[in-house]
Structure 1
Amino acid sequence: MRDRAEALCRVTPLALEGAAPPVIAMLRGVAGELGRAVAGDTGDAAGRELALRLEARLHYVDKHTRAGLSAAAARLDELERRPGGVPLDTPGERELACVLVHSAAVGDHRPAARVAAVCRAVLAREPASSEHVHSTVGMLVTCLCMADAVEDLPAWLSVAAGHARTERAGVAEAVIRAELAAVLLCSGRPAEAEEEVRRSVDLVDDLADDSLLPGMVLAPVLTAVHHPSGAERVLARYGAAPSVPPGFGACLQMLRARAAVEAGDADTALEYCLDAGRRFERAGWTATPVPWRPWAVEILAGRGRWPEARALAEQEVARARRWGAPTQLGRALRMLGELSAPARAGELLTEAVTVLDTAGDRTESDRAVRAVAAHRDRAADPGTGPLPRTPRAPAEPPRGDDPAGAPASAGRPGGDARPAPALTRSERRVATRAAQGRTNQEIAGDLAVSVRAVEKHLTGVYRKLGVSGRAALRRVWEGGSDRIA
């Protein structure tokens, strides 16, 4: 039995998730047998550690079912009731805690504050290494991003990335670079995040390994940064895989939605968003790595389908209140406020600004401040309806919704939004050509600069104009904006 347990623990959780039913049955059998054998035997530390690691793998393979999520939450309840709280002293205890708290988070069984508390405690005890990507410990990165609690992750992940680079562990470094990108996005550092995504995508291109792991981390991140070629490469590599975990499949749908929005095809983007939502819901995931419902709200509103947009926005506010992370709640309040009549809008938008004042990323806070300013203008003309909207890709995994970052206009409750920063001369030259339909390569040749320089200028343009890609940029240009001319 010990030999089988050790062999199963050498298999990564992801590999077990896609294993054949007989393998899963063997995992359940060995885990149950070993768990009973070591129960109450405080002298068998090695056996207990094996049992914990097997239990973590069992909960991992069950995390895409409602029953599995409920079982994980019940197990976490049991551990939290212990005198010292959730045990985290050994690697096995930390592996189990990470998968349990992740399941409790996505299944809507714990608020953000309690999830973050357990994850921070794990992070304080877990040495930074490249090995975390092959265990359940990597799940704490997603949890902390979702909970607006990423302050300790950049340093930890940077050390882990250094180990992976030294070890020439390509899969691990690709995953860690993508994790870093997600954390940097949550910290309001989109330019640095984009660079980490570029490095991650390049590493994936060089991999002979067919592991799904890098794609599972990259897909949600790529919905939030402007890297069209990266999205295309990830979809080309993983999009046709015969079988992927449900959560990954939903994230790939969201990546396709991003591509459709950038191509100006809002209807197709909406279908992808709603399909992703159905996949998440079938798995019992209420909180998700990418905000499918806010995306759908934006697109529905942009198509003038106000009742549907409001209904989804109401659902998102209710969900975000239960979860309690400032960025998700503030964003939901802002979106619903923008869709509401003036009397209710003022209350919702004011609350959004107040909530977002405690968020780590200022991007959504700035958007809420600008929404308050727009509401004042709207309130001055009682005959106006909801704010007119253009479909865009609201993406900031695991929680934001402005792909290239919004104009950097800081604000406080009751304060006026500052004017968005002006484009530089180089940005205007690139923006004009991009809006005319020129490719990056053509623009680079015309301006005698590198393609990379064009991409960096475009990122700045999208951030300053608050647009999601070329299609939205073209609409701004065709509208005669003097900010591009």
Structure 2
Amino acid sequence: MTIDGGGRDTCREVGAGGDVDVAATLQLAGMLARSGQVGEALAVLEALRSSQGPIDPLEHARLLALLVDCRLARGDLGDALELREELPALCRPEQAAAVAALAEHALGEIELALGAPEAALAHFRRAGDREAELSPEHRLAPDDLPWRVGAVLALVRGGGRDADHLAGAQLVAATTSGSAHAVAQALRTLATTDGGGRRLVLLREAQEALAGVPAARLAAQIATDVAGVLLLQGDPAARTEAVALLRSAETYADGEQLWPLQSRVHRLLERAGETPRRVHAEALAALTQAERRVAVPAAAGHSNRQIAGELLLSVKAVEWHLSRVYRKLGIRSRRALAEVLAPS
């Protein structure tokens, strides 16, 4: 299920310089992102950001939070880091609680993507503290501020405690909200904390919660989680189901250019003894000019030092560009890069 035409129509309206209802546009972008149409959501958000003058702090926080989510979904950490410069001003004590909570959560997501779970956890905790300042009727929906989800991931990655308690609290909040997307996300989060063999059961429940719901991105993430558990069973039937789930997630992630998800899918396919599909030619359009300049000689077998000398860059800059290329294309080696860039 898709939200047909809404994003494109809004982009045309914003691009034409007409009067735009910022709150409604942000609501549409959030719906697009939750439905899995990340590219459409990003286009709406970028159009709004480039054309709009000063906006209300809460709308500014919502805009930045959605941009961070979409950019990180595509593996564009560098672009997300640019937004980090604007977020601290929205976290100040004098800011409204909802504004600061959204900004703190976005900062937590960036720190988590940077591999800094302790810093991420601090931001997520502060997001929760600021949300607690709001009266119950003014609390942000779990879909808009899933700070416990981020906190659980930070605790799991950092080896901290209390993850299962937070995951349970998120499930209660999600169930109360009535959002199937939030419930499925909470079940998936709870599954990450389970050490008693209920992980697959919880993930299956998450899949059931999303039945008929437009949430392709979350559905693909859960399907990939399920596949990972099935592959550990070593059963032929389980492997067959896992590969089918991974192929479906692979197609979706490729179409939306969600390179972190695509990379995870490819790793699991390789574990299953399957060959990941060659990245579609259209996906190469996701590379910036600088990334292409580094990728082409790397695929041809040039070393990082050689490329640095040819392009007058530092070796570290070449390494950084190549890491982004690998992440975007869902690959892990020069050999795979050569296969992707080879003529059809």
Normalised to the residue count of structure 2, the TM-score between the two structures is 0.65
Aligned position for 1:249: 183
1-structure distance, mates of 2:220, 2:161: 17
Whether contact under 8 Å (1:317, 1:329) holds in the other structure is yes
1:99 maps to 2:32: no
Partner secondary structure for residue 229 of structure 2: helix
Aligned position for 2:319: none
1:300 maps to 2:230: yes
2-structure distance, mates of 1:229, 1:201: 15
2-structure distance, mates of 1:191, 1:298: 26
Aligned position for 2:106: 179
Which residue among 218, 227, 239 is the counterpart of 2:147?
218
Q: Deviations over 1:329-359 (max 9, x none)?
A: 222222112112xxx43xx29869x99x979
Partner secondary structure for residue 239 of structure 1: helix
Distance 1:176 1:289, change over 3 A: farther
Partner secondary structure for residue 78 of structure 2: coil
* CA positional deviation for 1:286: 0.8
2-structure distance, mates of 1:117, 1:156: 16
Which residue among 165, 186, 202 is the counterpart of 1:272?
202
Percent of matched pairs sharing the same residue: 15
AA paired with 1:257?
A
Whether contact under 8 Å (1:223, 1:255) holds in the other structure is yes
Partner secondary structure for residue 283 of structure 1: coil
2-structure distance, mates of 1:134, 1:275: 32
Aligned residues: 279
1-structure distance, mates of 2:246, 2:178: 29
1:232 maps to 2:160: no
Aligned counterparts, 1:31-430, within 5 A: 66=1, 69-70=2-3, 73-80=4-11, 82=12, 86-87=15-16, 92=21, 94-107=22-35, 110=37, 112=39, 115-125=41-51, 127=54, 130-132=57-59, 138-156=65-83, 159-204=86-131, 206-207=132-133, 209-210=135-136, 211-213=138-140, 215=142, 216-226=145-155, 227-229=160-162, 232-233=165-166, 235-236=168-169, 239=172, 242-260=176-194, 264-266=195-197, 268-288=198-218, 291-304=221-234, 305-340=238-273, 344-345=274-275, 348=276, 412-414=333-335
Whether contact under 8 Å (2:14, 2:48) holds in the other structure is no
Partner secondary structure for residue 143 of structure 1: helix
Distance 1:317 1:259, change over 3 A: same
Partner secondary structure for residue 293 of structure 1: helix
Distance 1:79 1:134, change over 3 A: closer
Q: Deviations over 1:258-307 (max 9, x none)?
A: 221xxx223x1112112222323421211129821221111111223322
Partner secondary structure for residue 159 of structure 1: coil
* CA positional deviation for 1:191: 4.5
Partner secondary structure for residue 215 of structure 2: coil
1-structure distance, mates of 2:184, 2:93: 33
Instruction: Could you tell me which runs of 5 or more consecutive residues in structure 2 were left unpaired when the two chains were aligned.
Output: 289-331, 337-344
Whether contact under 8 Å (1:212, 1:238) holds in the other structure is no
Whether contact under 8 Å (1:228, 1:259) holds in the other structure is no
Q: Which structure features the higher share of helix residues?
A: 2
2-structure distance, mates of 1:290, 1:121: 27
* CA positional deviation for 1:221: 1.9
AA paired with 2:5?
A
2-structure distance, mates of 1:254, 1:212: 22
Aligned counterparts, 1:1-40, within 5 A: none
AA paired with 1:275?
E
Distance 1:291 1:87, change over 3 A: farther
172-181 or 250-259, larger mean C-alpha shift? 172-181
2-structure distance, mates of 1:143, 1:251: 16
2-structure distance, mates of 1:142, 1:307: 32
* CA positional deviation for 1:208: 5.5
Whether contact under 8 Å (1:194, 1:225) holds in the other structure is yes
Partner secondary structure for residue 282 of structure 1: coil
1-structure distance, mates of 2:204, 2:64: 30
* CA positional deviation for 1:88: 6.2
Whether contact under 8 Å (1:88, 1:122) holds in the other structure is no
2-structure distance, mates of 1:137, 1:96: 15
